[in-house]
Amino acid sequence: MKTAFITGASSGIGRATAVALGKAGFQLVVTGRRRERLEALAQELAGVPVHILTFDVRDRAATEAAIASLPAEFAEVDVLINNAGNAHGLAPIQDGDPADWDAMLDGNVKGLLYVSKALLPTMTRRQSGHIINIGSVAGHETYPNGNVYCASKAAVAAITKGMRLDLLPHHIRVAEVNPGAVETEFSQVRFKGDTDRAATVYKGFEPLQAEDVADVIQFMVTRPPHVNIAEVLLFPAAQGAATTIQKG
């Protein structure tokens, strides 16, 4: 049975991906900061072998220690889904909060690197593996007040391309999924718990759901070994660009 390692699995796209890959026959390592949510997920996936790791990807030492603690039956990871990330604030650069900048760069960029670095030795040794990084349309189009978040996702795009080139001799597939508007906890985090403001983001059109993104990820990781769907840009039908959405 193949093993999939999913960061940020306690909610949203990560959680939906865990459900999809569990149904597809993978055993799972699910990670996040909210253990109670991960335990609830494991209970929902009754019959699927699941191992829970609780850590913050922004903490390099904690990330390395958690991955080093994997039991032998979960240590040989076949698929890595680098999903953990965040958006904090939506302000012009001159009004931005440096703490928000740190949170986004540490989680979206450095966290992805820390997890990948810790898992790559077994993939390179086996000369096999598949990595999917969750980016965003924001990595392709910078929009007003998105400055540092867009920069962090542009970095994910660049890192993904670099990883694909560097790992090519090791037969490790590397890909990126770039969603547009997805209705998850994303906007609640960005607006710091302002649920009313977050709800307005998705009013007037039908956004993607986390399960839509998970379906794409499941398809990508179940392709034959000679196939790598290297990049996907995924929009709801009402969206034409990062900030162009037809409402009503």
Residues with catalytic annotation? 149
Q: Are 30 and 52 in contact (CB under 8 A)?
A: yes
Which amino acid appears at position 8 of this protein? G
Query: CA 170, 125, 16: angle at the middle one, nearest 5?
Result: 80
Count of Cβ atoms closer than 10 Å to residue 113 Cβ:
16
Contacts of 94 (CB under 8 A, 6+ apart): none
Q: Assess contact for 101 and 87: CB atoms under 8 A.
A: no
Phi and psi at residue 244, to the nearest 5°? -110, 100
Residues with Cβ within 8 Å of residue 182, at least 6 apart in sequence = 12, 13, 207, 208, 209, 210, 212, 213
- Output b/e per residue, 215-232; b: 16+ Cβ within 10 A: ebbbebbbeeeeeebebb
Beta bridge partners, 50, equal 28
